[in-house]
Amino acid sequence: MNQDNLTTCPCDRKSDACYVYEQGPEMKIKQCYGCGFTTNSLMKADEDFFEEQLEALPELYKDLIQTDTEGQKWIPSTINVPEVGMVFVNGSNPQNWGWAAVKAVEVTEEEKHKFPIPGKKGQFYKHRMDMTTMKMFNQYDFIEAMDYAGLFENSLAK
């Protein structure tokens, strides 16, 4: 049985908006809406899963990884809802970064050829991220960035 709850974030930010989702007896997923970092039961230094994540992460994300007192590795989140918007880390280094939020727009008929769906010949994405709508938020305003991108409105409408 799945069990969800809110708890205090074990990262050094001490947010009380850390959502814990138990996906079976051995898998917990944690997403902190205060600091914007996430982890799961496999995000530890000795786990293959964590090493695989490191290979795919941008350098800034790697530089921002935090380790809690239980050895869990926390990485910055990227939230992408293709029809609505996206929130991601943006900055030049670990001392100069914040949350970027952008809104999605519909792809026009004229520009659809620029947005093919990989592996699906003749099919194109219907939405794209409009980088002209990008707005920056400070390191502690992850939830405000999600709100700007419209990510809460979308989930409430469904």
Each residue's pLDDT, cut to its tens digit, for the chain (158 residues) gives 445 588 888 875 667 888 888 888 888 899 998 889 999 999 998 889 999 999 999 999 999 999 998 899 999 999 999 999 999 999 999 999 999 999 999 999 999 999 999 999 989 999 999 999 999 999 989 999 999 999 987 554 44
Q: Which of 45, 76, 107 delimits the end of a domain?
A: 76
**What residues make up the domain containing 32?**
3-76
Instruction: Determine the pLDDT at residue 100.
Output: 98
pTM of model > 0.75 = yes
- Written as six digits, the tokens of 41 are 């039961």
Instruction: Determine the pLDDT at residue 130.
Output: 96
67 and 92, same domain (yes or no)? no
Residues paired with residue 72 on neighbouring β-strands, in sequence order: 44
Instruction: Determine the pLDDT at residue 156.
Output: 44
**C-alpha pair distances (Å), 99 with each of 32, 87, 147:** 14, 7, 12
72 and 8, same domain (yes or no)? yes
68 and 83, same domain (yes or no)? no
59 and 87, same domain (yes or no)? no
110 and 131, same domain (yes or no)? yes
- Cβ atoms within 10 A of the Cβ of 8, count? 13
87 and 143, same domain (yes or no)? yes
Instruction: Determine the pLDDT at residue 153.
Output: 76
Whole-angstrom distance, CA of residue 20 vs CA of residue 38: 10
